[in-house]
Amino acid sequence: MKILMAGWGFDKKITGGMDIHITHLVKNLCAQGAEIHLILPEENAPQNIPKNLTIHKIDTDAKDPEELDKNYTSAITTIAESTDFDIIHTHDWFGVTAAKKLKKARKDTTTYPQVGWVGARGRIPQSTKGDTHYNKPNTIRWIHTVHSLEYMRCAKDAPTKSKISEIEKTAIKESDAIITVSNIMKQEIQTHYNTDPKKINIIYNYTSQLPKTPETKKEIPTILCASRLTFQKGIEYLIYASTDILKQIPNCRFIILGDGHLKESLENFAKTLGVQKSFEFPGFVQDKELAAHFRSATLFIMPSIHEPFGIACLDAIEASLPVILSENVGAKELFHDCTLTHRPCSKQDIAKNTIRLLKDRQLKESLAKSAKQKLDKIDNWSTIAKKTAAIYTSV
């Protein structure tokens, strides 16, 4: 099986869940015998390339999403001219316009061999006289994975107001099959794009595969959140809830890992509420340091307004942390009975759950143990790759 795939981040150059997914999906598909041509920005291309993987580096310098889309389209269609493949796999909006163009070009391609032919004695054989021979190649099978939607990422009320939203709509409407990461996302796709549910396949994510580190629990209660610092992550509601949490547990600490355009605003919000001394904003950290934070924290919280899956939740569970999740986190579908959940944007719920876990050691240990047992039984990246390959061959 030969696959052309478009991505963004990869391996050591990760910006979010989509990049983690593509990294482990590609590595496992290659290990299982698939040949993959992966399109990546030049700055995100890995140095160590697994067997069966070819990296195509492209220039992604652009002033806006429309220009970036044109850059991807130009690069991918050029690469496709000399690359043999039968599957094209896009993720979110990267490479979608190129996929549409390539699928249409392959579908419309018709070759016209010579009309009849002159035999050795100068006669045109009766069997071919006047015939026109058509030879249409196999069409490209286009698989599209939806990790998130633009209106979720950018706090927009409608999914059709931006260039990226239009590209996403094209992929959902015109791809041969859709993969998404949770039932929450499947429902969103059905609702906003009137999509046949039979076209949408749910394949859950797995952990980031962080390095193993020793447990070094802090003496003071430590609440950990690891996320991009953007609107959809709901970090401001955790900061707001901290005012109530600190009244009952004044020595607890909040560590907010990650970077994003709201970082400074969130730091200023903590100052405005007078809780800045209880907060740390270390920014983006590499895998080894991230793993160490998971192993030293008391509990993990994901207060997202929109979170189609939430791989960091699984990383916390793997580190034996109890977890608090917003009801809009897709991963809760796997761990609904061994995590605490709260209404999105609810300061009261976040504070109540956090205080409850910090004060109830037995509950904290029970939830962490139950979630870890469940994690050990769900699909890992190898199985996820096999399920994805099955969709490739089913369309």
Residues 292, 171, single domain; the answer is no
The pLDDT assigned to 368 comes to 97
Instruction: Give percent of the chain above pLDDT 70.
Output: 90
Query: For the purposes of burial, counting CB atoms within 10 Å of the CB of 308, is it exposed (0-12), middle (13-18) or buried (19 or more)?
Result: buried
166 and 83 assigned to the same domain = yes
Q: Does any domain span residue 109?
A: yes
CB 240 within 8 Å of CB 303? no
Residues 6+ apart with CB under 8 A from 361: none
Instruction: Please tell me whether residues 161 and 268 are part of one structural domain.
Output: no
Co-location of 190 and 256 in the same domain: no
Q: Does a structural domain hold residue 215?
A: no
How far is the C-alpha of 123 from the C-alpha of 117, rounded, in Å? Answer: 8
Is residue 147 situated within a structural domain?
Answer: yes
Q: Quickly state the pLDDT bin for 318 (edges 50, 70, 90).
A: very high
214 domain residue, yes or no: no
CB 41 within 8 A of CB 15: no
226 burial via Cβ count (<10 Å: 0-12, 13-18, 19+): buried
Does 365 lie in the same domain as 256? yes
Q: Are residues 255 and 195 in the same domain?
A: no
Q: What is the pLDDT of residues 265-282, one digit of tens each?
A: 999 999 999 999 999 999
- Asked if the model's pLDDT at residue 112 lies above 60, the reply is no
From 309, 211, 301, 214, select the one nearest 256 (Cα to Cα).
Answer: 301
**Which domain, by its residues, includes 81?**
2-113+135-206+381-394
In terms of domains, do 261 and 143 share one? no
The answer to the question of residue 332 being in a domain is: yes
Contacts of 291 (CB under 8 A, 6+ apart): 210, 211, 212, 213, 315, 319
Residues 194 and 251 in one domain: no
Q: Decide if 217 is inside a domain.
A: no
E strand segments, the chain: 2-6, 35-41, 53-58, 87-91, 141-146, 177-180, 200-202, 222-226, 253-257, 279-283, 299-302, 323-326, 340-342
Confidence of residue 107 (pLDDT cuts 50, 70, 90): low
Is it the case that residue 135 has pLDDT exceeding 70? no
DSSP tag of 125? P
- 242 closest CA partner among 257, 254, 256: 254
Instruction: Identify whether residues 86 and 19 lie together within a single domain.
Output: yes
* Same-domain status, 266 and 387: no
Instruction: Decide which of 109 and 115 is more confident.
Output: 109
Domains of the chain: total: 2
Residue 281, SS3 per DSSP: strand
| Closest of 303, 299, 252 to residue 278, by C-alpha | 252
The answer on 361 and 237 residing in a single domain is yes
Alpha carbons 18 and 185: distance in angstroms, whole number: 14
- The answer to whether residues 243 and 314 belong to one domain is yes
331 within domain boundaries: yes
Dist. CA 87–CA 2, nearest whole Å: 6
Check which CATH number belongs to the domain holding 249 and give it.
3.40.50.2000
pLDDT tier, 217 (very low <50, low <70, confident <90, very high otherwise): confident
Average of per-residue pLDDT across 241-264:
97
Does 7 reside within a domain?
yes
Which of the four pLDDT bands, split at 50, 70 and 90, describes residue 151? Answer: confident
Identify whether the C-beta of residue 193 lies closer than 8 Å to the C-beta of residue 169.
yes
